Amino acid sequence: MELLKDFDSQQPAKDISINSVPIRYKGGGIYDPPGIIQMKPNQEQFWCVANTAADTFLDLQVQYDNIAQPLELVGMDGVPINADGQLYNQPKFVHHILLPPAGRAEFMIKSPKASVKDAKFLTLNYDTGTQGDNDPQRTIARIEREVELTATAASSFSASVPELSIDLTKVSGDRFSGLNQNKSVKERKLYFSETDPNVEPEQFYITVEPNQPKVYDPNFKTPDITVEEGTTEDWIVQNRTLEAHAFHIHQIHFLVLDSSDASEIGVLRDTINLPTWNGDSNTPFPSVKLQMDFRGIQKDTSITGTFLYHCHILEHEDNGMMAPIEVKSHEAWIEEEFRSQNAISRGFRPAQVLLTLIKDEAHLVSVAKLKVLRLVQSSTVQPMLSAWLHKLPEKVILL
């Protein structure tokens, strides 16, 4: 009974800070004084906020006299809103922004009027589930009117902190354009799961169906997923656990196609929240549908190589909820397709292997246009395949 009496339901699992200003919990709902953000009257500011916490979800909001203010969203996870060209130049207003660990947001905010008595930047309470951490509502910073500087002080300040100058005529690039118009070549289903937290050691998994769950092995020999550069894929990511997770992938961004949070749909992200499952077998697992952008070299930025996707809650990724993915060039992808048939090791001649892979003349020509098809010498090619070879471009390599 004594333990129950001492339990403080308001105590957060982790303390937070803003720009190195700590906001520690003192008990009884009392925190350290929050940070202070100064704004001039009738001013509009551009805010960049990153959740660099290891485990804490932030549901950001700005309130003036307890009224949530509209935030004009500019970008998420380092990418401008509408960068894929869906709703070009159309503003997106929200009243809160959910940032899982590693999430970033850029938005415009207007300063409070002189009549506002209480202006604050806060994180709302976020339910991470029965097995998750306690992330209660907390004030991150007070918003105060900026003190007018004297002419001398203003002159000194402007001399020491020059304005940032950007030549917008030299800003270019359309790395994410057209993503929503791409037809994905494959759909995959991934899911988060974990062992009983009361049984040591607790393990966390991210699994691609139909594989069996396993913890991440840093000495892996084969990646869990292999994709071809120049393509896009649709991934459905499910949460089958009693706590929230933060799906994150390195190197690329994805377009949110479907989510229980309508404000996320159509936004480019590299980190996204997966809400907790309630444990009811009659309730579908929470999920998001994502269009993964592996176009890479098509956008003059090659992404070939091996990297990781994982839950960005530190405790989870450190205990197994991570997996490798390999992005292969067109050349390597086609060669892998040939090898995966395993036909040569079963006694087939090279020409027969090719015939099992090439459906017809048009298919052979389309594959050859990738400039990577390695063909056997024409003297060993069966008559039908040999006839097709005469129509191929000279760039095809004959071995």
* Structure confidence by residue, pLDDT tens digits, 84-130: 655 555 778 999 999 999 999 999 999 999 999 999 999 999 999 99
pLDDT confidence of residue 302: 87
Residues whose CB is less than 8 angstroms from the CB of residue 210 and which lie 6 or more positions away in sequence, other chains included = none
| Cα dihedral 241/245/247/248 (nearest 10) | -140
**Residue 255 bridge partners (DSSP):** 268, 291
Topology of domain 179-328 in CATH is Immunoglobulin-like (2.60.40)
Task: Count the Cβ atoms, other than its own, within 10 Å of residue 42.
Answer: 10
C-alpha distances (whole Å) from 272 to each of 136, 261, 285, 311 are 20, 11, 16, 9
**Domain 9-146 carries which CATH code?**
2.60.40.420
Return left, alpha or beta for 144; rule: phi > 0 is left, psi -120 to 50 is alpha, else beta. Answer: beta
Phi, psi (degrees; rounded to nearest 5) at 152: -65, -45
Mean pLDDT, residues 7-17:
86
Domain ranges in the chain are 9-146, 179-328, 331-398
Q: How far is CA 388 from CA 349, 385, 393, 396, 399, in A?
A: 18, 5, 11, 12, 16
Reduce the DSSP state of residue 168 to 3 states and report it.
helix
Q: How far apart (Å, rounded) are the C-alpha atoms in residues 81 and 76? A: 7
Residue reference for tokens 């999920």: 287
Q: Indicate yes or no: pTM above 0.85.
A: no
Residue 76 is which amino acid? M
Which residue do the tokens 């994180």 mark?
123
Q: What is the DSSP annotation of 307-329?
A: EEEEE-SHHHHHTT-EEEEEEE-
**pLDDT given at position 168:** 52
Percent over 90 (pLDDT), the chain? 58
Residue 353 has pLDDT above 60, yes or no: no
Compute the half-sphere exposure of residue 248: CA atoms within 13 Å on the CB side of its CA.
20
Tell me the C-alpha distance between 236 and 204, whole Å.
Answer: 19
Per the CB < 8 A criterion, the answer to whether 155 and 140 are in contact is: no
Do domains 9-146 and 179-328 share one topology? The answer is yes
- Name the phi and psi angles at 398, rounded to 5: -105, 120
- Opening angle at CA 223, ends 286 and 348, nearest 5: 125
The predicted structure's pLDDT at residue 189:
98
How far is 69 from 63, CA to CA, in rounded Å?
6
User: What is the average pLDDT across 254-261?
Assistant: 95
Instruction: Give the model confidence (pLDDT) of 28-67 as tens digits.
Output: 889 988 889 999 888 999 999 999 999 999 999 999 999 9
CA gap 381, 387 in Å, rounded: 9
Cα 305 to Cα 289: distance, rounded to the nearest angstrom = 24
Q: What is the pLDDT of residue 345?
A: 47
Sign of CA dihedral 381, 385, 386, 391: negative
Q: Looking at residue 177, what DSSP letter applies?
A: T
Q: Is the pLDDT of residue 375 over 50?
A: no
The pLDDT of residue 128:
97
Task: Judge if the upstream peptide bond of residue 350 is cis by omega within 30 degrees of 0.
Answer: no
Rounded to an integer, what distance in angstroms lies between the CA atom of residue 176 and that of residue 77?
13
